[in-house]
Amino acid sequence: MPARQQCGAMLAVLALAAAVAGCAQTPTGPASSLPDKVIRNVPGSGKAAREPDPLPLPAIEAPLHDDLPPTPVQYADVLDRIRVGSQLPDVDHPWVRAELDWYVRNGEYMGRVFARAQRYLHYIADEVESRGLPMELALLPVVESAFNPFAYSRSHASGLWQFIPGTGKRFDLKQDWWQDQRRDVLDSTRAALDYLTYLHQMFNGDWMLAVAAYNYGSGNVTRAIRRNESLGRDTDFFSLSLPGETRAYVPKLLALGQLVRHPEAYGIALPPIPDAPYFEVVETGGPVDLRLAAELAGVDVEELHALNAGWNQWVTGPDGPHRLLVPAVVAPAFNERFAALGPAERAGLEPHTVEAGETLNALASRHRVPVAFLQSMNGTDGSALSVGDAVYVPGRDVSPLRSGLVRAATSVHVVRPGESLWSISRRYNMSVAELARVNSISTKATLRPGQRLSVRPPASAGAGTQVAGSGATRQIAYKVRRGDTLSGIARRFEVTVRQLMAWNGMQDTSIRAGQRLTVHVDGSRDYGG
């Protein structure tokens, strides 16, 4: 080919390449092709936040050959992986700076939170990464619950991701006598990331608005956007009129991202979290006694329940999910010991010989389990029994585990004629709400004589500063918020109204916004939400 023709051909190729590149930067379809529920808000259309030059990230070497799959990068610390996978910007805004200052001033608290996160963060980071989402979202449980799976808020939100009951049901999180999957690390993480992905699509790819909606509700954020649109104002997150909690919520996550990306810039050292699985998922094939499982694994029951926080009772439910999370380091030994047991032994059941007059209903009531559970474990649909029949029943105390709601040992109170939840709660220095939660009943439940209730041990009933069965307490100063009531604050911290009044020298239950109350709380817990 002549040189002039060769040159012409090369120019044509270059022109074609430029045209293709230009097309790649152009939207592929009209706006009407977007989902109907997308809010037409263009990220960055509002007042631009100044973004300082980020500190350099760890270098990642590219593969030598394009035809070979890239070798996964191995990190010693899961926080390094979050750093590299960050997608949210460094934002220089007063709200973000305020949260950064708080985190830096409270380094000891942050150390405790990240130490607790060690159980869950690797798994959550894996799930976030597998979906291609900003890795900073793995830090959202710091904001929501301080990585306490038993965190319970005044709005009845529960778990690492703080789902309220309605939203939990919307995302298929079971909430019944057996379990509350809002506290289950696997199920709640799936639901949270599904929800965040939905919100991200709804708000046209704006992660700040998506995170705000996770806290405040998509409808509320949508109305705030429309209100600004009607007034001709910007519609970015920082321009919206939102409640104080939400105005702080998004900056908290942004601040955490910046803190993890640049810890040296803020003079804070976060505890290392190995980038390796903390737990292993064991398929159990049926119900498992959690206390027995802890013994088989060689760990404290509190440790095992922290990994399996979704279960309310001493045993996993007959309808599943039939799985158990056990620390990875003890999983081989656990699997070997577990395999040697039969289904009844695994569920903590022992054979019982039926005596005259006994029915399955009566046995279920005596052992405080649903009839359906005994039916399932004994392979029967009925309740009638014959004298001499052998049936499996719980072989130990079956008081609910409920770490964080009831700890260590509980006593049993047998209901007497005329007693109510209120009178029993006063006797054992509990709130009505706490007593109801511990026994998985409504606060309006009618009690029957002879009914057995789990209560605090009598030894702690008269101790004015003892909380929820824990021996160690700490004193905090709680700032009353608008809409707070003394009974609501008591429920939040699992104390009684009478205790709050005594600690604060109060003559009545009147409180005002901004007032500071002294509260003695369980020293082993962080109260998220």
Catalytic residues: 144
Looking at this protein, which amino acid is placed at residue 112? R
- First-to-last CA distance in the chain? 74
**Contact by Cβ (8 Å): 204, 41:** yes
Helices (H), 203-280: 207-216, 218-230, 244-261, 263-266
Closest by alpha carbon to 529, among 219, 196, 252, 304? 252
Closest by alpha carbon to 521, among 469, 467, 470? 467
* Rounded CA separation 54/88 (Å): 11
Assigned token pair, 271: 């505890």
* Torsion sign over Cα 301, 304, 310, 314: negative
**Contact by Cβ (8 Å): 147, 117:** yes
Closest by alpha carbon to 443, among 469, 424, 415? 424
Phi-psi region of 468 (alpha: psi -120 to 50; beta: other; left: phi over 0): left
* Rounded CA separation 73/85 (Å): 12
Q: Give the CA-trace dihedral at 466, 429, 148, 142, to 10 degrees.
A: -80
* Rounded CA separation 167/161 (Å): 11
* Rounded CA separation 88/253 (Å): 10
**Long-range pairs for 397-400 at CB < 8 Å and ≥24 separation?**
397/314, 398/313, 398/314, 398/315, 398/367, 398/368, 398/369, 399/314, 399/368, 399/454, 400/312, 400/313, 400/314, 400/438, 400/439, 400/440, 400/454
* Torsion sign over Cα 218, 220, 222, 224: negative
